């Protein structure tokens, strides 16, 4: 067997889990057209749940018991303990169970596969988010008058009186069960009850959106395979990478590593979006001004009078790939990445955290913890806000002149953005502390040192520029002459 064929075979073997993942998602996309055309709501819900349970069992095997145990306990708390701050209890329980789930190997138990980890992650968001939604809706209904109660959106009344059937349907519907996107209870229920979700034009919009999104997947796949073949990510784990390669090469290598990571994530997130669009989940009239994760800003029926019968799937948009790749700044790219999870973090953690001073740190901590317990996630996620602060200050100083940015300067900012992403994400890939430390040591912690120097320069830039280019003090304004 030739070396190239052997490399290709190794690539396939190393990506076995990804192949299973893609196959399951493709199957869900194919099923979507049949699913969305089921007119009987009960039959539709049953079909979606059966398929969701089948996916969990197929990819997880006996490890599925983790999923069902955490669901059963959380559902029981929601149903039996509404008056005992169930949203707080479920949050603590689900995140502690997530820790136990990821550390079962210390108890000499078999570790769950990666797919089960994805299912447990999204289930954690769903159950915690649902508990907060139930709590909010229950309080709102308790304080509402009879007239106000009748005018309330249907989903709030359902949440206040939620049943086991509702919880089960929301958590185990096949749409989003494997990898999301995160959606609220209302987003899950709207395709069952809203009339516009069942007309022919909405079905056509679903087909168009699925095809439009799917077109990008072959491009991502080719780029992923080509880059993985030329610069395999496994090389960074070998001793030869640190003994045979130069510092410049090791520093440059974070670019292809992050590129491979991006293409892999884009494939997964786009396929997950296609599952939703094919099933008709997350479709709303454009006049409702939907946001990723949150759904419509308004559902005022008056807006439908002049509506041109156009739809969008903004609610289930995981990532805006074009903006992430082409925007100039790190801050903009962050806002365009994994937007549905960002919505959950903003609504459940950031906006509700009692201390304003600590809410950003708490949100980052929850995000890192949700991703995993290994140090790599914390190295990566906690470095981001420090770089954003440096970038913001740099741009502020550059804009102080009042002149528009020339193209070359925007390109420099863009390169800096992707270098920052790449340098941080290598920790996400290396995962363990000693691997991360070994890599950063091998490049003399270049990224951190460079950003520290950049921060010092831009912080004192007005003084530096006057000392180097202008010298002395700022010229004083001439005093106005007194009128005679």
Instruction: List Cα–Cα distances, 22 to 67, 119, 174, 455, in angstroms.
Output: 21, 15, 15, 43
Distance, in Å, from the CA atom of 200 to the CA atom of 198, rounded to the nearest integer, reads 7
Helices 41-60 and 185-193 cross at an angle (nearest 10°) of: 140
CB contact at 8 A, 172 and 56: yes
Distance, in Å, from the CA atom of 406 to the CA atom of 419, rounded to the nearest integer, reads 20
Distance, in Å, from the CA atom of 174 to the CA atom of 44, rounded to the nearest integer, reads 11
Helices 86-102 and 359-371 cross at an angle (nearest 10°) of: 40
Vertex 340: Cα angle to 431 and 111 (nearest 5): 35
Rounded to the nearest 10 degrees, how much is the dihedral formed by the CA atoms of 389, 393, 395, 397? Answer: 180
Q: Among this protein's residues, is 371 annotated catalytic?
A: yes
Q: Among this protein's residues, is 15 annotated catalytic?
A: no
* Block residue for tokens 């804009």: 399
Query: Which one from 49, 117, 135, 338 is the annotated catalytic residue?
Result: 338
CB contact at 8 A, 164 and 185: no
Tokens of 96: 């502690």
Query: Which one from 7, 371, 438, 445 is the annotated catalytic residue?
Result: 371
User: If we measure between CA atoms, which residue out of 419, 418, 420, 412 comes closest to residue 395?
Assistant: 412
Residues involved in catalysis: 338, 371
């Amino acid at each position: 067997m030739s070396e190239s064929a052997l490399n290709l075979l190794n690539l396939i073997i190393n990506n076995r889990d990804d192949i299973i993942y893609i196959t399951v998602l493709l199957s869900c996309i194919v099923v979507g057209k049949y699913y969305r055309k089921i007119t009987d709501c009960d039959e539709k819900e049953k079909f979606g749940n059966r398929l969701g349970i089948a996916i969990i069992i197929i990819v997880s095997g006996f490890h599925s018991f983790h999923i069902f145990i955490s669901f059963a306990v959380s559902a029981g708390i929601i149903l039996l303990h509404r008056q005992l701050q169930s949203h707080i209890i479920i949050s603590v329980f689900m995140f502690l169970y997530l820790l136990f789930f990821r550390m079962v190997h210390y108890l000499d138990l078999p570790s769950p596969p990666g797919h089960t980890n994805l299912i447990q992650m999204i289930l954690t968001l769903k159950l915690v988010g649902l508990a907060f939604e139930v709590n909010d809706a229950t309080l709102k209904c308790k304080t509402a008058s009879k007239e106000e109660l009748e005018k309330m959106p249907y989903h709030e009344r359902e949440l206040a009186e939620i049943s086991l059937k509702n919880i089960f349907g929301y958590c185990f519907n096949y749409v989003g069960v494997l990898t999301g996107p995160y959606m609220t209870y209302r987003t899950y229920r709207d395709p069952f009850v809203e009339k516009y979700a069942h007309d022919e034009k909405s079905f056509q919009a679903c087909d168009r959106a699925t095809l439009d999104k799917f077109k990008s997947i072959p491009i991502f796949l080719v780029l992923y395979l080509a880059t993985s073949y030329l610069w395999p990510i496994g090389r960074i784990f070998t001793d030869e990478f640190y003994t045979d390669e130069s510092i410049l090469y090791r520093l440059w290598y974070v670019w292809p590593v992050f590129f491979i990571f991006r293409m892999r994530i884009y494939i997964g997130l786009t396929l997950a979006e296609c599952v939703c669009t094919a099933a008709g989940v997350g479709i709303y009239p454009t006049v409702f001004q939907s946001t990723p994760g949150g759904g419509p800003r308004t559902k005022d029926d008056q807006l439908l009078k002049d509506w041109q019968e156009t739809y969008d799937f903004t609610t289930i948009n995981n990532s805006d790939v074009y903006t992430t790749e082409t925007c100039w700044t790190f801050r903009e790219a962050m806002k365009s990445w994994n937007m549905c999870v960002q919505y959950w973090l903003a609504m459940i953690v950031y906006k509700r955290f009692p201390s304003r001073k600590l809410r950003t740190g708490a949100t980052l901590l929850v995000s890192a913890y949700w991703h995993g317990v290994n140090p790599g996630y914390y190295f990566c996620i906690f470095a981001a806000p420090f770089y954003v602060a440096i970038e913001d200050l740099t741009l502020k100083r550059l804009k102080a002149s009042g002149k528009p940015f020339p193209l070359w300067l925007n390109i420099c900012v863009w390169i800096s953005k992707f270098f920052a992403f790449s340098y941080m994400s290598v920790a996400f890939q290396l995962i363990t502390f000693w691997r991360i430390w070994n890599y950063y040591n091998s490049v003399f912690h270049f990224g951190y040192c460079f950003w520290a120097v950049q921060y010092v320069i831009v912080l004192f830039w007005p003084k530096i520029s006057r000392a180097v280019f202008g010298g002395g003090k700022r010229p004083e304004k001439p005093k106005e002459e007194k009128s005679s």
